[in-house]
Structure 1
Amino acid sequence: MAALQTNGSVLTRLLWARGLRAFADGYVSLLLPVYLIGLGMSAFEVGIITTGTLLGSGALSLLVGLHAGRLRFRSWLLLACALMAATGIAFALASDFWPLLVIAVVGTLNPSSGDVSVFLPLEHALLADTVEDNRRTGFFARYNVVGSIVAALGALMAGLPQVLSALLHVDGLTALRCMFLLYAVLGMACALVYRGLPALRKTEEGRGKAPLRKSKRTAYTLAALFSLDAFGGGFVVQSMFALWLFDRFQLSPMATGTIFFWTGLVSAVSYLAAAWISGRFGLVNTMVFTHLPSSLLLILIPFAPTLPWALLLLIARSALSQMDVPTRSSYVMAITPPEERAAAASVTSVPRSLAAAASPALAGYMLTLSTFGWPLIAAGACKIVYDLLLYFRFRHIRPPEEQARSPRNHLIPGR
């Protein structure tokens, strides 16, 4: 009974922290390009700084994942919260390109609608250790539902600087800086949530040993595939997608925030659908056969003749594009030994930052040449290739709960 109560407390606190961070990411990802353009930067410079945020997050996530056994998970999470608070304060104070780029690289800003931060591998490992195999995908879906819904609410806050500017009679840049200070406050609030976690164990591996051994081959293969998906996704991280909407349809931050609010709600529903679909058709099938049509829809968006058609395609894509998120996380944790999960989560999630890091700069350069939407086409093409490679490489590698339902026992390479 005590163990159940402890597990329930861990899950509740992880969901609260995920929600707080998602709220911050929801508005920061939309206001980041607005703030940088307000400082006089070009679309290419916005892309460079966005690249810096992804590159730094990926490197830090990899470092933490590979050394997760040196400190307890709670200690790592508290350190990450301190960095989040410092990032918000520093970004609010800086105005020049180079200082902002340095802060973007070493800080925790997230230009994406999903979670690509240093918190990710730690929370995934804790979540997987806390629930049973047959409930794991459902809890990952709930974790992502919370993130999506609260990020959608955060997106609505993208219009708050405009309201603050009018009510308080301050200039737009000052109002935007207040939003980055709010980001710092939310980082401190996350620390209060994490402080209540029990003194969770370190990873079971001793110091100085390689974190990945049994699952090394499988994790690296998945990491390579996720790199391709991440590279494609980098062309359309929320900050760059918002910049395209600003340029193509002359939308305001408030209108763009409303759009991403609705797409976030649609994505939240899709997370729940993903848990149900994966229970019937398997994790890999769910990942691939929902992701493929969403990539095709992404390619079609630039060809939309009017804003309503573009929004229709965007919402349709949102209903499918995120179903691979909880299923992917659950799949990685399922085929990895418990003692290696923090390292595997880091090694397979880091490509969502590192491989994506080059794409925003390329997207920014494309947008300086044309508002047509070439970054969206490039993203869709990369993602289609990823889907096909993932299916043909991993369709026969099943997690324990699927093996239990199947009369055939599928071997997992590298384990």
Structure 2
Amino acid sequence: MFQQSRRAARIKPSPAIAVSVQAKALARQGIDVVDLSVGEPDFDTPAHVRAAAVVAMEAGETHYTAADGTAALKQAIAAAFLRDYGLRFEPAEITAANGAKQVICNALLATLDPGDEVIVPAPYWVSYTDLVLLADGTPVEVACPAAAGFKLSPEALEAAITPRSRWLLLNAPSNPTGAAYSEAELKALGEVLDRHPHVMILADEIYDLIRYDGGAPLSFLSVNPGLRGRTLVVNGVSKAYAMTGWRLGYGAGPAELVTAMAKIQSQATSNPSSISQAAAIAALTGPQDFVATALAEYQARRDLVMELLEDIPQLTPHRPDGAFYVYIDCSALIGCRSVDGSVLEDDAGVARFLLDVARVAVVPGAAFGAQPFFRISFATSRVRLTEGCTRMAAAIKDLTR
């Protein structure tokens, strides 16, 4: 008889993926759903990256590699860190895995013991707290309200740190809010952490190249070089290079941490795909014009979506600084009644209503640790974004108190 472990029982499936599965199930029934739930670029992987994968296959690069990446890939990752941030890393300080999610998981598994705490600013990416629980840690959620730009303040960070604090998990630009920190804001957080040498920093910067302020990419570590000995910078090729399905993420940090993470990975999955590694080298070291082209299109989509959403008086969208999400305050909808008589009791109810009535898939804020909100992704065409927002407006208009 099957008996689920306590570890498995502590975590839940990804809510964003669950919503997308529902949307796809409706689509198989012939129902047109505008799926704004999943954060996945709709662009094809750049041609030169795909070509590099073909060359690698034809050259026989189809065998096992070192558990956490080839020497060539680590050199490419080091070159990208130097080019984008002026950060220098040695190969022993770099690890590659099956997506940035595995890098984060490896780091937590390699460092957490039962009772260890991980500070997680909320709203947060849906997987963070579950990954902490999977590693027997305790997530400590710190509310970062809309009035604070959904960003962690130095005061809130200071208050959250205890003797059991092991990590601060900082995601910027953020999923789900798109919030990005300025250099001064990152410096202020670094000053707090400098006073607490037992706290490590996991800087998830997977959306670093998707920022709308016109400035250069900004890394926590480049602003706080004095914290290098306890900072792990996590990134990957999924978002900036439209390579979600290739499953290739990477991290850079202290060599002893990277060694421990590689040990975990060697027993869990071994190396990431050799073909994906070859493709990632091409993405990181080849022409970068795709990144700029995609960024310009994302910004146009953001501006379009904000204009459409701001015309819906019951919704309060928050303009993102980066990434490709809008986090939307739907508190004005709570307590409203739909045509069938059902009451929208929370943001999960709002998301169900939008899927059932408007045929638009969104992710409720409860999944991100902040309510009542929902998240949409604008990593899809302007036509579909316009259709989705139009449908939401029409469905919401029919709600009553």
Range class of TM-score, shorter chain: under 0.3
In the superposition, the TM-score normalised over structure 2's length comes to 0.28
Higher relative contact order (CA 8 A, sep 6+): 1
In the superposition, the TM-score normalised over structure 1's length comes to 0.27
